[in-house]
Each structure stands twice: as C-alpha cells, then as structure tokens.
C-alpha cells in the first residue's frame, strides 16, 4: 500500500514522491468526466460493440462515445479490435488495467457510503448543513 498520508503528513517529513502524483493524476484522468465510468461499467457488463455501448450507455451521443473510446484506448484502458470479416466487426474490450480499475471504484463506493452515513449522523445532532451532493 502506498499510504499517501505518510508523505502528505508533514512539511519537514519526506516529500510525496512525484511518481505518486503522476499515478494519481493518471487515475483521475481515466475516471473523470460524465461518461468514463458509465462506459467502463458497460464494458465490464460485457457490451463490446459500438452499437451495444450506444444502447447501454443511456443518452450518450455517438460523437461522445467515439471521443471517449479513443481516449480510453490512448490510455490503455480499452483495446479496439478490428475483425476483417465482411461486414467488418469491431470490438472494444477492457485491458487488464481496465478491469483492475474496478478496485478503485470499490474504494470510492466504500468511502461514499460511509461518508453518507457520517453526514446523516452529524445532521441529526442539530448542526444544519447544506449539502450539494449528499443530503
């Protein structure tokens, strides 16, 4: 485990290694935006053709799907395979990294669920808070 807290903990202590920052921004780039996680989820569910992804990712336009798939491919999250039969068949599949990102998703879900219970518990103690995403 990398334990970011140890490096971020003190100004005079060891500096947070640059590779950690790079790894972190990589991850954020991969999952940020409106469509990345829905697309990854659809691929995890087994959808693999452009049309499947269009149908199973609600409300996405072909332009956005095309753009997002290109980015995911550039970042080695997705592989695009062309089968030269007639008519041509194109499949998108998650790479190993693409599948592994489910671990990050799990830790996000865990934090999010605990966070919600903490927010609700605190608002019961009389402290009124306005919350944008949690309430």
Partner DNA sequence: AATATCAGTATACTTTTGTATACTGAACAT
Partner DNA sequence: ATGTTCAGTATACAAAAGTATACTGATATT
Contact footprint for DNA (CB under 7 A): 33-35, 49-52, 59-64, 66, 80, 86-90
Measured CA distances, 87 to 50, 62, 90, 91 (Å) = 14, 20, 10, 13
Residues 70-129 that bind a second copy (CB under 8 A): 71, 74-76, 95-97, 100-116, 118-119, 122, 129
Q: Which of 26, 80, 90, 93 binds a second copy (CB under 8 A)?
A: 26
Measured CA distances, 91 to 17, 50, 86, 114 (Å) = 38, 7, 14, 37
> Among residues 88 and 130, whose Cβ is nearest to DNA?
88
Rg (CA), the chain: 20
Question: Which does residue 59 touch among DNA, a second copy, none (CB within 5 to 8 A, set by kind)?
Answer: DNA
């Amino acid at each position: 485990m990398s334990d970011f807290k140890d490096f971020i903990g003190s100004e005079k202590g060891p500096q947070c290694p640059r590779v950690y920052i790079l790894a972190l921004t990589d991850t954020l780039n991969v999952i940020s935006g409106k469509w990345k996680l829905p697309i990854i989820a659809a691929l995890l569910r087994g959808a693999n053709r452009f049309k499947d992804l269009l149908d199973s990712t609600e409300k996405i336009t072909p332009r956005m799907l095309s753009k997002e798939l290109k980015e995911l491919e550039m970042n080695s999250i997705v592989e695009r395979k062309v089968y030269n039969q007639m008519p041509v068949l194109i499949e998108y599949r998650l790479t190993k990294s693409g599948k592994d990102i489910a671990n990050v998703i799990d830790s996000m879900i865990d934090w999010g669920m605990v966070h919600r219970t903490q927010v609700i518990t605190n608002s019961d103690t009389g402290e009124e808070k306005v919350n944008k995403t949690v309430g």
